[in-house]
Structure 1
């Protein structure tokens, strides 16, 4: 009797940027049998996040997440990256968690396992058939991370490998506070210099930390600092914002006289207040004809780089009182929105900042 090799689970490439798809396959399994593929990962705060999906093996004893359909678990259907965007806090986790990368110089390490039968990760009697580990990075090899503390600006500049000069992005987040670097690191990994700045909730900014205590000159100075950097193309600088950062981006563009090469692309997520602010700001600057709106039904407010899990609710603050914020969105449509939006953002940057 010919003995089959032991079951095997592979993830390729084993090391990839966070916005890159990977191929997950199981082999050497009995044909037409139920299996579960599970992903587990600890955040930098040591909270456990997990996702799982139920599959039935093919006639040749394989399962291929790139083309096979999940029949249960964290998602349904053919979703090659569902184990990543489907990650959610494990049962019993702290309330209101949101997954945000703090140290972009180390990866997320995701442990994937192939389990016998259709089971849930928390079930103690599941049999592990095979396992593999993959690394998910925001920073590509050769990207430089530079601490910026200049002219009162608190930020981090990321530069792609090479001498430049590079097209660049000023990266603005919402009022969650702190210095958020991971989108800038990813932009640099895609060939753009990117400056991420803090403007609220950072110990090196004027207090109190729960208020914005910097004025328009702070943001304009940040734009000028990026534009004037010796490794940046001065006439090829864009601005991106999320949440309140969208308002700041439009304000900087109008107040600094930033050159708009073709059009302003804004991601509008079916929030009438957001639409009003954006359109009124552009109308006041006589640039309403440059407004391009993308609408994603079923997506939430927090559009992150692709394959990031959606936090439908998260803890906003604990002082002076506990505040939980509802961001909205459903897992699958939100994941599809993030993937499509990221592609359109990169295409827009390519068309307007490189050509």
Structure 2
């Protein structure tokens, strides 16, 4: 699952499939085939993600008890939510630069929607004099309401957390630290593995994916650029290394 860009992104799923992992890319907002709702809102609830999980479980060519979840950015939060709050049992979970709670101050549920429009919804979204949007502060653990945090005491599978230390879009390092502390307090620290990469930005993608430190967030009603972070060489190295370790993690937990 991808992040707040929405839509259906299949490239990572295709790469997993090329290595023998049955893989499902899941759109959950800002996609024409999602049930009616504002184009920039999450209009699906927990039942949607549960159905997607069960679709894979029921597939005749899939081992139903060996399914993992992976998400980037806001998709990382959803992956964590699936692993801890939805009535399914993933074999492992991977969170790439994702927050440990819902930063929009509302839950995803079967009866609510979440706005992800192009206008700053919280005071932590800021546009500087150059027109650059920064939203990093919105995902600081201290700015996530306690009731919106992931219930890590419910985690029952290994979790791989990937962090870009130059992430300018999310407070990934702080979230990873808080995740580890929460799991330790719950007696589940043994389930947690963190890969932290100096100089890497927010969009840690498969190897050789170009990184843009700053790119367009919106064109209308006015052009807004957002800062992702990442230095070219360090970010490229992080993408190569994390991809190898993601595959190893999946191999151990889904095939081992």
- What TM-score does the superposition give when structure 1 sets the normalisation length? 0.48
Using the TM superposition, give the Cα deviation of residue 319 of structure 1 relative to its aligned residue in structure 2, in angstroms: 3.0
1:214 maps onto 2:49 in alignment: no
Counterpart-to-counterpart distance in 2, 1:281 and 1:195: 30
Matching residue of 2:8: 179
Counterpart-to-counterpart distance in 1, 2:56 and 2:38: 27
Structure having the higher Rg: 1
SS in 1 for 2:67: strand
Counterpart-to-counterpart distance in 1, 2:19 and 2:207: 14
- Output one character per residue of 1:125-154: Cα deviation in whole Å (capped at 9) or x when no partner: xxxxxxxxxxxxxxxxxxxxxxxxxxxxxx
Q: 1:274 aligns with which of 175, 184, 194?
A: 175
Counterpart-to-counterpart distance in 2, 1:341 and 1:207: 36
**Any conservation in 1 of the 2:68–2:90 contact (CA below 8 Å)?**
no
Using the TM superposition, give the Cα deviation of residue 288 of structure 1 relative to its aligned residue in structure 2, in angstroms: 3.9
**Any conservation in 2 of the 1:268–1:274 contact (CA below 8 Å)?**
no
Q: 1:264 aligns with which of 159, 165, 169?
A: 159
Using the TM superposition, give the Cα deviation of residue 256 of structure 1 relative to its aligned residue in structure 2, in angstroms: 2.6
Change (3 A) 1:327 1:258: same
RMSD over aligned Cα, in angstroms?
A: 2.2
Matching residue of 1:300: 201
SS in 2 for 1:266: strand
Counterpart-to-counterpart distance in 1, 2:22 and 2:238: 25
SS in 1 for 2:220: coil
Change (3 A) 1:314 1:220: same
Counterpart-to-counterpart distance in 2, 1:294 and 1:282: 16
- What TM-score does the superposition give when structure 2 sets the normalisation length? 0.66
Using the TM superposition, give the Cα deviation of residue 282 of structure 1 relative to its aligned residue in structure 2, in angstroms: 5.1
Using the TM superposition, give the Cα deviation of residue 320 of structure 1 relative to its aligned residue in structure 2, in angstroms: 3.8
Counterpart-to-counterpart distance in 1, 2:27 and 2:68: 18
Q: Higher helix proportion, which one?
A: 2
Q: Tell me which of the two structures has the higher relative contact order, counting C-alpha pairs closer than 8 angstroms and 6 or more residues apart.
A: 2
Question: Runs of 5+ in structure 2 lacking a partner?
Answer: 93-156, 166-171
1:247 maps onto 2:77 in alignment: yes
Using the TM superposition, give the Cα deviation of residue 209 of structure 1 relative to its aligned residue in structure 2, in angstroms: 1.1
Q: 2:31 aligns with which of 185, 189, 202?
A: 202
Matching residue of 2:126: none
Using the TM superposition, give the Cα deviation of residue 250 of structure 1 relative to its aligned residue in structure 2, in angstroms: 1.0
Using the TM superposition, give the Cα deviation of residue 269 of structure 1 relative to its aligned residue in structure 2, in angstroms: 2.2
Matching residue of 1:228: 58
| Count of matched residue positions in the alignment of Structure 1 and Structure 2 | 184
Change (3 A) 1:329 1:181: same
SS in 2 for 1:196: coil
Using the TM superposition, give the Cα deviation of residue 252 of structure 1 relative to its aligned residue in structure 2, in angstroms: 0.4
Question: Runs of 5+ in structure 1 lacking a partner?
Answer: 1-171
Using the TM superposition, give the Cα deviation of residue 175 of structure 1 relative to its aligned residue in structure 2, in angstroms: 1.0
Change (3 A) 1:208 1:343: same
